[in-house]
């Protein structure tokens, strides 16, 4: 039970921070699910239900959301870095040919 709680807490903290920094909805979805899992743990602790079932449900949810992340399109940050590389490469090429003329 403690490992499930710690995993959910870590996922919530990391993904909520990523969501606030990047604004991408995939991080918000994962942090919301981790928070929901933590709420389930608290509810089940008050009801004294089986911790094994909580852990199994948690792992199933994580598999579902990891699959959703893998199916998402790459972020626009990657595209921007490629365009920046091409701009720098083009500038250096122009400078190189300019120096050859002089």
pLDDT 10s digits, 53-102: 777 777 787 777 777 777 766 655 555 566 777 788 888 888 888 777 76
Give the domain ranges of the chain. Answer: 2-71, 73-102
Q: What integer pLDDT is reported at residue 75 of this predicted model? A: 59
d(Cα 19, Cα 13) in Å, to the nearest integer?
10
Are the CB atoms for 15 and 35 separated by under 8 Å?
no
DSSP 102: -
Q: What is the pLDDT of residue 65?
A: 74
Tens of pLDDT, residues 10-30? 888 888 888 888 888 888 888
Residue with tokens 């994962």: 30
Handedness of CA 37, 25, 69, 11 (dihedral sign): negative
Give the whole-angstrom CA distance, residue 97 versus residue 92. 9
pTM for this model (two decimals): 0.47
């Amino acid at each position: 039970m403690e490992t499930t709680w710690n995993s959910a807490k870590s996922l919530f903290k990391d993904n909520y921070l990523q969501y606030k920094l990047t604004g991408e909805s995939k991080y918000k979805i994962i942090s919301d699910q981790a928070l929901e899992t933590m709420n389930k743990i608290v509810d089940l602790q008050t009801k004294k239900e089986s911790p094994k079932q909580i852990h199994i449900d948690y792992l199933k949810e994580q598999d579902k959301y990891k699959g959703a992340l893998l199916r998402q399109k790459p972020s626009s940050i990657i595209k921007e870095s490629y365009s920046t590389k091409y701009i720098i490469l083009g500038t250096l090429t122009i400078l190189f040919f300019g120096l050859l003329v002089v």
